[in-house]
Amino acid sequence: MKRVDDFRLKFGKEEYVPIMIGGMGVDISTADLALEACRLGGIGHISDAMINTVTDRRYNTKYVKDKLKQYKFNVANSDKAVVQFDLEQLANATRLHVEATMARKQGNGMIFINCMEKLTMNGPKETLRVRMNAALDAGIDGITLAAGLHLGSFALIENHPRFHTAKLGIIVSSVRALQLFIKKSARTGRLPDFVVVEGPLAGGHLGFGMDWADFKLEDIVAEVLAWVQKEGYENMPVIPAGGIFTGSDAVKFLEMGAGGVQVATRFTVTKECGLPDDVKQEYFKADEDLIEVNQISPTGYPMRMLKNTPAIGSGIRPNCEAYGYLLDASGNCSYIQAYNKVIEENPNAKKISEIHVYEKTCLCTHMRNFDCWTCGHFTYRLKDTTNRLADGRYQLLTAEHVFKDYQFSTDNQVALPELDEAAV
């Protein structure tokens, strides 16, 4: 019986443990989590989602406060077109996070940054250009382009000296998306170094409609593998993601010809994960019927989350002057419309607690505060991966424990950690 460790993720002559921990914004996949994957010989991701906010919290910058001060005059205005990001600050924030992470790197693995193109930031092309170039400047090993794949994104960094040496990959949910991307970026003379194929059971945003349940990761992966073979791209690792819960699940894909697997949900309950500890307990406690895919994300993509997430139905005022990561090129976000509609319908409401917006959510504010509990489909199995402690809480895991469980387990088994009553 094979184990994940019998396989290697190959980029040319380089070889890695074929386990990639997926990017989880906003700072849920922390530097600490990514560094553990790297130390153990695999690949970890930090995320550049709401990077200014993350650097404020981690490195004591004041980017959010400064931005709010600059645009305070616009808070009551629904038109957010003036609320622009300072591109130099954005570059500095990105460099700060990447440099600080890379300086702590140990082991033989790599650290990539997850770059979600749906963070349109009131200037989609320019902000994406700055984010990607700054991450390359600061020495990131690779970039994974996610959510809302911008077909021209390779062209935005084609003049960077590291364009041909850094690892660049994309996340797709269909063979068609991969075909389109490769066709559109052919002019840059560069193929993606890897492709993550994300199926409908993943956490975060889904690359499917509300008919997501009609799709199967195995089928999409088989289609992608067949196509890359046919086109002669067999050296481009295909990396399935979404619902791969045990080492044996991973082996099934590696035996099909996948280069590695991308996993995330099992790491949400590790001590290195950025979620607050009480939120990690919510993930442990969740039963299957508490997990839903809904349409409250202003990005327009379905998103999977726990039904008891505080973000659902919250009536918080749009916070675009401070954040504004989802503003489109014209300064719109669908939460602003949804919020204004509820305000008009409830003219006598005085307090936030009297206002409930169910149609959309203010994703920036709620992700920033860890109040949007996005999760993978199999979150309800997390309780079976650890010990229940005397006080009823669940024992937190370490990233090393979960990583090695994927790497070495067989027979669909999940290794429980040694009982530690203090690990919550």
Binding site for ligand FMN (CB under 6 A): 22-25, 28, 47, 49, 114, 116, 146-147, 171, 198, 201-204, 241-244, 262-265, 268, 374-376, 378
CB closer to ligand FMN, 199 vs 318: 199
Q: How far apart are CA 374 and CA 380, in angstroms?
A: 13
Q: Are 34 and 100 in contact (CB under 8 A)?
A: no
Spell out the residues 6+ positions from residue 30 whose beta carbon is closer than 8 angstroms to its own.
46, 272, 273, 274
How near is the Cβ of 201 to ligand FMN at its closest, in Å? 6
CB closer to ligand FMN, 116 vs 228: 116
CB closer to ligand FMN, 194 vs 378: 378
How near is the Cβ of 250 to ligand FMN at its closest, in Å? 10
List 198's β-bridge partners, or say none: 241
Phi, psi (rounded to 5 degrees) for 346 = -125, 65
Closest CA to 74 of 274, 306, 336: 336
List 45's β-bridge partners, or say none: 112
How near is the Cβ of 422 to ligand FMN at its closest, in Å? 25
How near is the Cβ of 16 to ligand FMN at its closest, in Å? 17
CB closer to ligand FMN, 16 vs 378: 378
How near is the Cβ of 330 to ligand FMN at its closest, in Å? 24
Q: Are 56 and 62 in contact (CB under 8 A)?
A: yes
How near is the Cβ of 46 to ligand FMN at its closest, in Å? 10
CB closer to ligand FMN, 43 vs 241: 241
CB closer to ligand FMN, 185 vs 309: 309
How near is the Cβ of 273 to ligand FMN at its closest, in Å? 8
CB closer to ligand FMN, 147 vs 178: 147
Q: How far apart are CA 99 and CA 96, in angstroms?
A: 5
The sign of the torsion formed by the CA atoms of 109, 35, 417, 290 equals negative
Number of other residues whose CB lies within 10 A of the CB of residue 273:
26
Integer angstrom CA distances of residue 10 from 5, 13, 197, 258, 263: 13, 7, 17, 11, 18
Amino acid at 222: A
